[in-house]
Chains A and B, each alone.
Chain A
Amino acid sequence: MSEAAEQKNLRMQSHPAPPSVYFNTFSDQAECRFGGDWTVNGESLGSVEASWKAFFEENPKILRVSFKVSSDLVWDSRLVAFVNGKSSVLHEKKIASVREFPEEIEKIFKLRSEKQTKREEKPATSPFTPLGAVFWGSIFLSCINFFGAWIISIFNLFLWRTQMRFKDFVLCCRDCGAAALPIVTLISFLTGLTMAFVGSVQLEKFNAKIYIADLVCLAMVREMGALMVGIIMAGRTGAAFAAEIGNMKLNEELDSLRTFAVSPMEFLVLPRTLALLVMVPMLTIYADLIGMMGGLVVGTQVMDFSVSHYIEQTQSAILGMWEVFSGLVKSLAFGLIIGLVGCYKGLHTGSNSAALGKSVTSTVVTSVTLIVVADAAFEVVFSMMNLR
């Protein structure tokens, strides 16, 4: 045998004929014979489907079909699944189907019928559900409910009948205050430094380089200090709150709190939100100072101003304490947003670990978005009230 013929022979052995189906008709009865490679590694069933469709279109009066196999059949569960699907279709068309398969194929059908359980109707869900008004309405109501419960827990705190433990509040203050100092220092210093560099290029054109001190100081105390701290805390602390509380929900720790008549709102949410309400303004003051130091470094090392000159200019930039307070008012709101969003997302985490990841991501995105929206809203209100 030539080498080419040998190779062809080998190929034929390793690749059986493609899956096929042949029909014979006897008045209103049909015989359907399967042949070729009916394994999951076999070829497409395109031609089989076409012959099937053509046969039943040409023979609409068929009332009974019997399934048989050819001698060249190679099969696995693909054949069983195909026959099973087609039997259901025939059943719907009121055509009886009978299997006349070898015992080894019938065993698979038997196994399947034994394992079949009653089908449960799954509630219909639309892919557009997350866009629907009902969906957003329920989220809105849930947020209002959560905020209302938070307000009540604040009242309970003032009435001294809270379940919040003071030591939890102190621990939260440490975690979201002192522990955040390194990252706040780095980001604020670099923010001040960058603003000074960028501003100096423009101010140099007007021979007004010394006003770089005013620019950095006002930008930090009015805007950038609070904003940068807000964004850092959203990514750092808000996400941590969501992950911690969400994990507690997955481990049934929240349920166990409830069984001891302990309110998760007072026991978990209140210390965290209060800690952020206290620590974010303090971190903002710190970030303002560090940002100004960044400007000072550029002013003295790059622009050759003296330290005292730069500081004097910085002091003159602040016309009143409102400049500082406006930033602190914003930081209070940012702290509340981060705390409430983080805790809300944690408490409303789904019941699997993927949902926990989603909650954490959603916390950061929602917090940062709300912080930017709130910042813009504050600026509009301050301008309307002639406070700028």
Chain B
Amino acid sequence: MSETLISVTDLELNYGNSTILRNLDFSVCKGSCLVIMGQSGCGKSTLLRSMIGLLPPAKGSICFKSFNLWEESIQRRQGLLSNFGVLFQGGALWSSMSLLENVCLPLELHTELSDEEIKDLAKFKLSLVGLEGFEDFHPSEISGGMRKRAGIARAMALDPEVLFFDEPSAGLDPINSRRLDNLINDLKENLEMTFVVVTHELASIFEIADDAVFLDPTQRTIVARGKPDELLANEENPTLRNFLLRKD
């Protein structure tokens, strides 16, 4: 059985006084791709924000290996978070920097490598996502799909153990969306990376997920868990079935 990298236990997330999600229990195995799925507004991105250290939980724990992310000191937590890479919905590339500088920055701040080595590494990461030759372009000068891929290259800059993607296919055409799915599968197989992907794109879910959790906006918790194909075949929950079958 694969090693558990992240375990979420009895998690409750609030915004102000209102509870967004409660009673969340799941784990992410090493080398797998977990998809967090659900309708718009069900709290998928909120859960992701908590898992990457941007939103403290109201209750429960998020553990990376044996360390409780939110009970460690800030310095220790930042150290743990350096094992994570994040691709935000819009790419969130730093707009004043070129693609190369975007990938170089985390390496400059967190490693002792020479400038030359950092540049070589950054160029290599960009080439992994098919952006060789675009190093000097700024985010505003490339397409949405390329921005997403550059975001992945930056997320991989520090060779993290887990990559978190927030709606990677959002705003992409079907071809670019498919390319991104292929890229995720390639990285998973070749680099043995672990992925946590938030999405509601059905095609992507069936393509990339080894495991999935479904968040229900009414119950505000996880109502189903498993491989998407198995969930579709066996699950009785009407909301989930409608979601997976794209029915009203």
Contact = CB atoms under 8 A, between A and B. Distances in A.
Interface of A: 118, 123, 163, 165, 244, 247-248, 251-253, 255-262
Looking at chain B, what size class is its interface with the partner chain?
Answer: 20 to 34
Nearest to A168: B96
B92 A260 contact: no
A251 B144 CA distance: 13
Contacts of B82: 260-261
A347 to B, nearest CB: 14
A244 B97 CA distance: 13
A293 B109 CA distance: 47
A254 to B, nearest CB: 9
A257 B93 CA distance: 10
A258 B82 CA distance: 10
Contact of B54 (A165, A247, A259): A259
Given A123-B17, A255-B88, A118 B110 contact: no
A72 to B, nearest CB: 37
B110 A260 contact: yes
A195 to B, nearest CB: 40
B86 A251 contact: no
Interface of B: 16-18, 49, 52-54, 78-79, 81-82, 84-86, 88-90, 92-96, 105-106, 108-110, 154, 158, 218
A123 B16 contact: yes
A253 B95 contact: yes
A261 B110 contact: yes
A178 to B, nearest CB: 18
Contacts of B17: 123
- 10 smallest A-B Cβ distances: which pairs? A261-B78, A252-B92, A256-B92, A252-B88, A259-B86, A260-B106, A253-B92, A259-B52, A253-B94, A256-B88
Contact of A248 (B16, B53, B95, B108): B95
Contacts of B154: 256
Contact of A255 (B54, B95, B105, B108): B54
Nearest to A258: B54
Contact of B81 (A165, A247, A248, A259): A259
Contacts of B158: 260
Contacts of B109: 163, 260-262
B16 A252 contact: no
A294 to B, nearest CB: 36
